[in-house]
Amino acid sequence: MRYAHEVDKVRTAERALMARLPDGTLMSRAAAGLASVCARILRGGRPHAEPGLGVYGARVVLLVGGGDNGGDALYAGAGLARRGAGVTAVLAGTKSHEGGLADLRAAGGRVLPVAEEERVATAIDRADLIIDGMLGIGGRGGLREPYAGLARRAADSPAIVVACDLPSGVDASSGQVAGAAVRADVTVTFGTYKPGLLVDPGAEHAGVVELVDIGLGPYLPDPDVCAPLAEDVAVRLPRPTSESNKYRRGVVGVLAGSETFTGAAVLAVGGAVRGGAGMVRFASSEHPVELVRQRWPESVTTVIGDSLDGIGRVQAWVAGPGLGTDERAEALLAQVLATDLPVLVDADGLTVLARRRDLLWRDAPTVLTPHAGELARLLGTDAGEIEARRLEHVRRAAEELTATVLLKGSTTLIAEADRPVRVNPTGTPWLATAGSGDVLSGLTGALLAGGVPAIDAAATGAYLHGLAARLSADPYGDGAAPISAYDVLDALPEAFRTLAG
């Protein structure tokens, strides 16, 4: 698991640790870690194969802000200068860290005030590696000048950009980017991950994130956000044993589809079948039932009117994809939510819930899987607000709706009240294709029916779904192609194997 802490918690832990250490120890640990990652990059090691020219003679530019983030960059620059790099510090703050500046000068580094525009521009354009030390966890809001201009120039340079602690302009606690921000190839972060490095839009500005241990661990409280690694997810996968039978593996009920929308039902049932359900019971009107029977003959289907009576026993429900939003849909959804079973509500089901939030007053686990537009309807705000501050909104939704909320999008987030928000690390933008969300609902429903707790089912479902999409869009890791929701379904067995293997 990768754990992330918000700024106030990082600062409290840093204070507690600093009180036990000689002055400057933490900064020198941070700077040494940063310098060693930069040296590795210059030598051509992972994660970058280029430029591989070594540290000696490499042209390194430091973008230095007025705070301690600039101090880290200056000390790291001094370390690289001592190994033979040609280091130029561009001083962009109203002041600069004195100790760091003295160390860089003593190591033979060059210093340029930001006002020397032409020389600064030339240095950035010719750099092999740029360290962004403008703002760290002290940054607030979008970058102001001259930082914003330097960030733009760095983006146009062919140099590898390494962010110190976090890309300047990214809000450390939320991942919000309010205006100009640095786009890094690699971010070297200190002590713990920051939520803004894991959650978009911040995450996509951070590139590959490397954590440098500065000894903060024992002083950090529970994390605010965490991102599971493959092994964390693998242990949660339900696996059949010799004791298993189809009922014990979990029977999932799927209430989806309507005369108008049939495809969503076929895809949701497919997700449940491929998600490892022992049996899928599908309830809908005539046309979708006919199509599901043709495509998934292994499912048990029932044509229903406005009652679910006689469907048979299930251990969890998936309700909503293609269901419609009329009174019949509302009545059926109400019946599902009146059970004491885990229920996942998606798509049209969420639109119905936006006007019937009372249906969520229940004791059994409820998982909601909205995209930003659906969550906006549920919370009475607009999708742009949600996209800009995903973390805040997914937390708010989990609390207000008393449910496990999986917010889909460029980084899928999963929240439950009083627990760290989980960030899904898999996925690809190619997944943004109609119907792929229906696959996720069926898949997650199968995990719920298999007895996986709601937050783990949602996190595991999102992980497998994103992995299947990657395997299908870019199976050889050498170039991606567009995929359909069906391709995601077809890649699910491979995703399970990859994870379990």
Ligand X SMILES: Nc1ncnc2c1ncn2[C@@H]1O[C@H](COP(=O)(O)OP(=O)(O)O)[C@@H](O)[C@H]1O
Q: Does 146 bind ligand NPW (CB under 6 A)?
A: no
What pairs with residue 226 in β-bridges? 3, 422
List 69, 176, 285, 472, residue binding ligand NPW (CB under 6 A): 69
Letter string b/e over residues 245-270, b meaning 16 or more CB atoms within 10 A of that residue's CB: eeeebbbbbbbbbbeebbbbbbbbbb
Read off the tokens for 26. Answer: 């933490």
| Contact predicate 389/174, CB 8 Å | yes
- Please indicate if the annotation marks 68 as binding a ligand: yes
Q: Which does 147 bind (CB under 5 to 8 A by kind): ligand NPW, K ion, ligand X, none?
A: ligand NPW
Q: Which option in ligand X, ligand NPW, K ion, none does residue 190 bind, with CB closer than 5 to 8 A by kind?
A: ligand NPW
Per-residue H/E/C for 439-489 = HHHHHHHHHHHCCCCHHHHHHHHHHHHHHHHHHHHCCCCCCCCCCCHHHHH
Mark the segment that binds ligand NPW (CB under 6 A) among 64-72, 243-251, 431-439, 442-450.
Answer: 64-72
Are 97 and 70 contacting, i.e. CB atoms less than 8 angstroms apart? yes
Residue 135 as a binder of ligand NPW (CB under 6 A): the answer is: yes
Cα 270 to chain centroid, rounded: 25
Q: Which of 48, 59, 65, 450 binds ligand NPW (CB under 6 A)?
A: 65
Q: Please state the closest distance from residue 184 (CB atom) to K ion, in A.
A: 8
Confirm or deny that 138 is annotated as ligand binding.
yes
φ, ψ of residue 479 in degrees (nearest 5) = 150, 135
408 marked ligand binding residue: yes
Contacts with ligand NPW in 202-231 (CB under 6 A)? 214
CA 170 to centroid of chain Cα atoms: 15
Does position 132 bind K ion by CB under 5 A? yes
Q: Is 373 annotated as a binding residue?
A: no
Stretch that binds ligand NPW, among 25-33, 249-257, 337-345, 486-494 (CB under 6 A): 25-33
Compute the chain's Rg from CA coordinates: 26
Chain residues in the site for ligand X (CB under 6 A): 347, 371, 408-410, 412, 427-429, 431-432, 434-438, 440, 465
- For K ion, the binding residue among 87, 107, 164, 251 (CB under 5 A) is 164
Residue 482 near residue 430, CB atoms below 8 Å: yes
Tokens of 5: 């802490």
Tell me how far, at minimum, the Cβ of 324 lies from ligand NPW, in Å: 47
Judged by beta carbon, residue 27 or residue 440, the one nearer ligand X is 440
Nearest one of 420, 406, 429, 411 to 481, comparing CA atoms: 429
CB 339 within 8 A of CB 315: no
Name the one range near ligand NPW by CB under 6 A: 22-30, 45-53, 383-391, 399-407: 22-30
Residue 132 interaction partner, one of ligand X, ligand NPW, K ion, none, beta carbon < 5-8 Å per kind? K ion
7 three-class SS: helix
Residue 461 interacts with ligand NPW (CB under 6 A): yes or no: no
Q: What is the distance between the alpha carbons of residues 458 and 403, in angstroms, rounded to a whole number?
A: 12
Q: Decide: is 147 part of the binding site for ligand NPW (CB under 6 A).
A: yes
Which residues contact K ion (rule: CB under 5 A)? Answer: 132, 163-164, 168
Binding residues for K(+): 69, 132, 168
- Binding residue numbers for (6S)-NADPHX: 68-72, 136-142, 147, 165, 264, 322, 371, 438
Task: List contacts with ligand NPW (CB under 6 A).
Answer: 14, 18, 26-27, 30, 65-70, 72, 135-144, 147, 164-165, 190, 214
